[in-house]
Amino acid sequence: MLVIGLTGLIGSGKTTVANLFAQLGAKIIDTDVIAHQLTAKNGAALALISAEFGQDILDSSGELNRARLRELVFSDELQRERLEQLLHPLIFAAVQQEMLAVNNASYIMLVVPLLFRSPKYLALTQRNIFVDCDYPQLVQRLAVRSNLTQVQIDAILAQQVSRVEQLALADDIIENNGETQSLTAAVKCLHQKYLLLR
Ligand code: ATP
């Protein structure tokens, strides 16, 4: 089955775009959603995370204290590597499992934030989309959605693959600076192209 990669900077509109492709018949497999499921209360990764980082990483109800974990790994590269070494193989295994279970879709779309730094995922995809969004628009949308300040957004962006590099590496680019209407039209256009590529 045709597999399309979808990536973009934080808040660029990956989820919004993926939802539009899903409405047209694509099967979406989103690594962020999988990571969230794995770290939910009964998720396969939670016990491993608490064994690695200590019980303090859980709150009083036994759920992952996401703010604490984010704080721990954001400023410390070694801690981030520890978390990634633990989570990434589990996420990749879950992606493979989900891909095997797909039987009724036009094609598969893999949503991977660091796609262009992830050879294992690039080996699965035949084409890759970059969702592009101007910096001021991105800052505005993230301020509304996540209450993030410009300084926080800049710190996150500094850890991502640069926009320039992603624009150069992508096969298809979806510009997401305008209204949902123009975004929907761009998605429909690419969808037609992918139907022909199958
Ligand atoms: P993250 O990297 O955090 O997972 P993302 O790339 O998946 O984010 P979205 O969650 O799709 O991005 O979009 C970020 C925010 O911008 C959301 O609040 C979304 O509703 C809004 N948004 C995205 N595209 C548009 C658009 N074309 N018009 C208006 N709002 C939009």
Q: Residue 75's pLDDT is what?
A: 81
CA-CA distance, 198 to 192, in Å (whole number)? 10
Instruction: Go through the domains of the chain in sequence order and give each one's CATH number.
Output: 1-26+107-198 (3.40.50.300), 33-104 (3.40.50.300)
Torsion angle, alpha carbons of 127, 131, 134, 137, to 10: 180
Q: What pLDDT shows up at residue 29?
A: 98
Q: Choose which residue among 6, 15, 147 to substitute to test ligand 1 binding: the one with the highest number of ligand atoms within 8 A of its C-beta.
A: 15
Q: What is the pTM of this model?
A: 0.95
Neighbouring CB atoms inside 10 A of 17's CB total 24
Q: Mutate which of 131, 141, 176 to test ligand 1's pocket (most atoms within 8 Å of Cβ)?
A: 141
- Is the shortest distance between the CB of 152 and ligand 1 below 6 Å? no
Mean pLDDT by 10 residues, the chain (198 residues): 97 97 98 97 93 93 93 89 96 98 96 97 98 96 91 92 97 96 97 96
For the CA of 182, the nearest atom of ligand 1: 27
